[in-house]
Amino acid sequence: MSYIISRKHPRAGSAAAATLVAIAALPVAAQTTSGTLREVQVQSTAESEYKAERASSPKLTQPLVDTPQTITVIKKEVLRDQAATTLTDALRNTPGITMQMGENGNTATGDAVYLRGFDAQGSIFVDGIRDVGTITRDMFNIEQVEVVKGPAGTDIGRGSPNGYINLQSKLPFAENDANATVSLGSGNHKRSTLDLNRKLNEAGTAAFRLNLMAQDSGVVDRDEVKNKGWGFAPSLALGLGTPTRTYFSYLHMNRRNRPDGGFVTTRLPGWSASAPRGATSFPMVDESNFYGWSSDHDDVDSDMFTARIEHDLAPGVTVRNITRWGRTKQDLVLTAPFSNGFAPGTNAADPASWMIRVLPQGKLQRNEILANQTNITADLQLGGLDHSFSGGVELAREKQNNGTLAANINASNGVLIPASTNPTTGVVTPASYQAFANLYTPNMGRPLVPVTPNGASTSGEVTTTAAYLFDTIKLNPAWQVSAGVRWEHYRTEFLSLPATGTSTAATNLSDSDSLFTGKLGVVYKPAPNGSIYAAYATSARPPGSDFALNSTAGNSNSPNMDPQKARTAELGTKWDVLDKRLALTAALFRTDNTNEVGTPDPVTGAVDQYGKTRVQGVELSAIGQITPAWQLIAGLANTSAKVIEGSRAATTTGAAVRYSPKLTATLWSTYKLPIGLTVGGGVRYVDTQARSTNTAAVAFVPEIPSYTVLDAMLGYEVNKNFSLQLNVFNLTDKFYIARINNAGNRASVGTPRSAVMTATLKF
């Protein structure tokens, strides 16, 4: 018998849309004093499609070149040229970001982002308002993605020690514009979008915009996995071009996916585990194998309503109010393989009979947010100095409810595992049933293991009240100082109910406190188009930020624990060059996160907090236009993320932080030829990643190997209304790991060589 050592599916290529807009300089006639007309050549600067001048938040009052912080803005034109459809796709354009997979029994789904060594899944925002939920965010209604790095507690309140991600939604504008796309590609990819904008009156003060998306796709080289859904996003704008502007928008997302539990990691370098007794070899497993059932599903329904009002009180003084109600419901059943669990009695001489343990798991989660933010910005002159103020008040109530799903494994669908004795404690474990699938040829038609609610549930609620004030003072044309402070009061309520029929008591916990965070930056401008800056910022993450409190003293989510605190120092420079078409940045940074763990005193019960993680490095970027036809977005980060002081009961001190590669780099560039043809390509590099934050040896896979991936695109503008674009991903068909679980026994493979063709119609 021969065993699979390569992928078993051929890859079909297909292609698609979008070309850069050509901008021409127009001759302008001017009249001389003699009364005759002469032609004057006016050299206009072509707009850079990739380069943004500002972030969308009113708290960041200065252009990016004068903002003392590392911020990457990824515009919709970049997403268009890369055929990027999800937030995960978009984040490939900035270094220092990786994705996680989670525990065996709690697989992370959706946008599970690691940003500069810390989990940032709870620090994702839409239009400046927190967007909770473990879901995959689609880009069909997104204008740009903003990645703000370093502690940003003054901007957002509680959150990740190393930054946040903000998605700016599309809004109506005072023009008639429309485009539709249809995409077909490898992995049975099928997707279509519509972006329609219409002004509603001749004056252009009212406009309506509608964004639609529908998708029905498989996943390249993954059996049975499906991504299917649709989105609907209407919005209305009133008062455009007037002192009072009002926007109303709604978003609905529907997902009906078959999720991916991953493949076993037997083929990865350094893999080690025990094969069935008596086996002499362990043939590699095809990474396209699907170990779940046809009943596995990831059903998501999201609704978001937003009302926003802006009013100009006076020249340079604007007040804004935004109200958001949002709700996301996720019903997940996912089956994950375990490469360390083999069925008793397996025929060691015949690997075709080997069975692997699988764990069906589920999630019933409902997230809801009601938020109101009021902000006022003012450009004033006080004491002979120019000030740019931004202040406001934020109110929010966030809720999360989780129902617990349990796998019903019994004699009809599982294997009885005999009781065993723990050699360390001497405790005898009871016999139990476990589910298995064939390691090399899993069959979805095997006896089903139902996953149903067991009556256990948890619910958490976080209410916050916050006030903040920022001021940028221009001391003279060369020097300016930026400062900000934020006070935030939070209250967290947590309730955990046991499973039906158990004697476990319910857990009811609460925590409340106030957080004070701040930021300070000094900017020196040696020229109008450049800056050199030094900055310092703080953030705080209180217990229960992820809606779960824990009654164990010393646990990071115990109400007895003080908030974790992060501090960052950053020194950098930013320059807008080539007639301000290209933005160049460089920054040195160091972040220390403290109060990570605690030990209770055995007599008093008082908790002694300690634990410190340090992330430091250098980051470079270039975004914009080199020539009117040549665009690029590039970044490089060299980062060291280490545990300075770890748990006193474990070997963590001195260990590298998992999922934190030392070197990451990304480059994407396009060039438009005069014949209407656009060529583009990119490269992404991710260094080796530690799988475990532990200095001791780890089982299965000790690290995630480094990888380099090449992508390419070819676009052709047939005419002003119709274009085609072909995107080819992973040109060299590099095998690499996109995510791996905490145990290291299963992973998600990176996209193999594949292609997507997109046709775009403008009307």
548-559 pLDDT tens trace: 999 988 888 999
Q: Tokens for 300?
A: 């998501």
Quick one: average pLDDT of 54-66? 96
Q: Tokens for 675?
A: 């014949």
> What is the secondary structure of 429-490 as a DSSP string?
EPPEEEEEEESSS--TTSPP--EEEEEEEEEEEEEEEEEEEEEEEEEETTEEEEEEEEEEEE
Residue 688 has a CB neighbour count (10 Å cut-off) of 15
Region of poorest pLDDT, from 215-229, 249-263, 345-359? 345-359
Whether 1 is in a domain gets the answer: no
pLDDT of res. 462 = 97
pLDDT of res. 4 = 41
Quick one: average pLDDT of 486-491? 97
pLDDT of 37 > 60? The answer is no
Whether 740 is in a domain gets the answer: yes
Q: How confident is the model at residue 28 (pLDDT cuts 50, 70, 90)?
A: very low
Quick one: average pLDDT of 281-309? 91
Predicted confidence (pLDDT) per residue in 596-623, tens digit: 888 877 777 778 888 899 999 999 999 9
pLDDT of 353 > 70? The answer is yes
Q: How confident is the model at residue 338 (pLDDT cuts 50, 70, 90)?
A: confident
Q: How confident is the model at residue 686 (pLDDT cuts 50, 70, 90)?
A: very high
Region of poorest pLDDT, from 344-358, 481-495, 705-719? 344-358
CA–CA separation, 190 vs 185, rounded Å? 7
pLDDT of 706 > 90? The answer is yes
Would the CA dihedral through 514, 516, 517, 518 be positive or negative?
positive
Q: How confident is the model at residue 17 (pLDDT cuts 50, 70, 90)?
A: very low
Whether 404 is in a domain gets the answer: yes
pLDDT of 478 > 80? The answer is yes
Region of poorest pLDDT, from 32-41, 44-53, 379-388, 525-534? 32-41
Whether 51 is in a domain gets the answer: no
Give the 3-state DSSP-derived string for 293-312, with helices as H, strands as E and coil as C. Answer: CCCCEEEEEEEEEEEEEEEE
Whether 53 is in a domain gets the answer: no
Region of poorest pLDDT, from 108-117, 170-179, 708-717? 108-117
Domain around 220: 64-447+455-762
Whether residue 691 contacts residue 740, with contact meaning beta carbons closer than 8 Å, is answered with yes
355 or 250, higher pLDDT = 250
pLDDT of res. 278 = 62
Q: How confident is the model at residue 650 (pLDDT cuts 50, 70, 90)?
A: low
Say which CATH number the domain at 497 has: 2.40.170.20
277 or 675, higher pLDDT = 675
How many domains is the chain partitioned into structurally?
1
Q: How confident is the model at residue 734 (pLDDT cuts 50, 70, 90)?
A: very high
Would the CA dihedral through 527, 530, 534, 539 be positive or negative?
positive
| Residue with the two structure tokens 């690499």 | 736
CB-based contacts of 480: which residues, under 8 Å, 6+ apart? Answer: 62, 66, 472, 473, 474, 522, 523, 525
pLDDT of res. 252 = 98
Total-model pTM: 0.90
Of 662, 661, 644, residue with least CA distance to 653: 644
Whether 744 is in a domain gets the answer: yes
pLDDT of 218 > 70? The answer is yes
Quick one: average pLDDT of 80-103? 92
CA–CA separation, 431 vs 582, rounded Å? 65
pLDDT of res. 286 = 87
Quick one: average pLDDT of 332-356? 78
pLDDT of 8 > 70? The answer is no
Predicted confidence (pLDDT) per residue in 626-645, tens digit: 999 999 999 999 999 999 98
Whether 162 is in a domain gets the answer: yes
Q: How confident is the model at residue 661 (pLDDT cuts 50, 70, 90)?
A: very high
Whether 215 is in a domain gets the answer: yes
Predicted confidence (pLDDT) per residue in 560-603, tens digit: 999 999 999 999 999 999 999 999 999 999 999 999 888 877 77
Whether residue 248 contacts residue 236, with contact meaning beta carbons closer than 8 Å, is answered with yes
pLDDT of 656 > 90? The answer is no
CA–CA separation, 138 vs 213, rounded Å? 9
pLDDT of res. 43 = 41
pLDDT of res. 279 = 66
pLDDT of res. 42 = 42
pLDDT of res. 332 = 94
Mean of all residue pLDDT scores within the chain: 89
CA–CA separation, 508 vs 561, rounded Å? 17
Region of poorest pLDDT, from 29-43, 119-133, 502-516, 683-697? 29-43
CA–CA separation, 88 vs 302, rounded Å? 18
Region of poorest pLDDT, from 414-428, 449-463, 563-577, 675-689? 414-428
pLDDT of res. 553 = 85
Quick one: average pLDDT of 254-258? 96
